[in-house]
Amino acid sequence: MDCRKEGCAQPQDEDIMDIPLDDPAANKAATKIQAGFRGHMTRKKMKDDKPREEKQRDQK
Protein backbone atom coordinates (compact mmCIF):
# COMPACT_ATOMS: atom_id res chain seq x y z
CA MET A 1 0.00 0.00 0.00
CA ASP A 2 1.47 3.35 -1.02
CA CYS A 3 0.21 6.27 1.10
CA ARG A 4 1.23 8.87 -1.46
CA LYS A 5 -1.27 7.49 -3.95
CA GLU A 6 -4.07 6.76 -1.48
CA GLY A 7 -3.69 9.81 0.79
CA CYS A 8 -3.03 8.17 4.15
CA ALA A 9 -3.19 10.54 7.10
CA GLN A 10 -0.88 8.52 9.38
CA PRO A 11 2.75 7.61 8.65
CA GLN A 12 3.67 3.99 8.20
CA ASP A 13 4.77 2.07 11.33
CA GLU A 14 8.22 1.49 9.84
CA ASP A 15 8.85 5.26 9.70
CA ILE A 16 8.13 5.67 13.41
CA MET A 17 10.49 2.88 14.43
CA ASP A 18 13.46 4.42 12.58
CA ILE A 19 13.92 7.10 15.28
CA PRO A 20 16.41 6.05 17.98
CA LEU A 21 14.77 6.97 21.28
CA ASP A 22 18.03 7.03 23.26
CA ASP A 23 19.76 9.49 20.92
CA PRO A 24 20.59 12.75 22.78
CA ALA A 25 20.21 14.81 19.59
CA ALA A 26 16.72 13.36 19.01
CA ASN A 27 15.73 14.14 22.60
CA LYS A 28 17.03 17.70 22.27
CA ALA A 29 15.11 18.17 19.01
CA ALA A 30 11.92 16.77 20.54
CA THR A 31 12.30 19.09 23.53
CA LYS A 32 12.64 22.13 21.25
CA ILE A 33 9.57 21.11 19.25
CA GLN A 34 7.52 20.58 22.42
CA ALA A 35 8.64 23.91 23.91
CA GLY A 36 7.74 25.75 20.72
CA PHE A 37 4.32 24.13 20.60
CA ARG A 38 3.62 24.82 24.26
CA GLY A 39 4.60 28.46 23.76
CA HIS A 40 2.29 28.65 20.75
CA MET A 41 -0.61 27.24 22.76
CA THR A 42 0.06 29.62 25.67
CA ARG A 43 0.18 32.65 23.38
CA LYS A 44 -3.03 31.50 21.69
CA LYS A 45 -4.77 31.08 25.04
CA MET A 46 -3.57 34.49 26.27
CA LYS A 47 -4.80 36.12 23.05
CA ASP A 48 -8.24 34.50 23.47
CA ASP A 49 -8.46 35.55 27.15
CA LYS A 50 -7.44 39.18 26.58
CA PRO A 51 -10.76 40.46 25.13
CA ARG A 52 -12.68 39.02 28.09
CA GLU A 53 -10.41 40.80 30.58
CA GLU A 54 -10.79 44.10 28.73
CA LYS A 55 -14.58 43.76 28.67
CA GLN A 56 -14.66 43.09 32.41
CA ARG A 57 -12.45 46.11 33.11
CA ASP A 58 -14.62 48.38 30.97
CA GLN A 59 -17.82 47.30 32.74
CA LYS A 60 -16.51 48.22 36.22
Cβ–Cβ under 8 Å, residues 26 and 19: yes
Burial label for 38, CB within 10 Å (0-12, 13-18, 19+), is exposed
Q: pLDDT grade, residue 6 (50/70/90)?
A: low
Model pTM? 0.51
pLDDT surpasses 70 at 58: no
Query: Which of the pair, 49 or 11, is modelled with greater confidence?
Result: 49
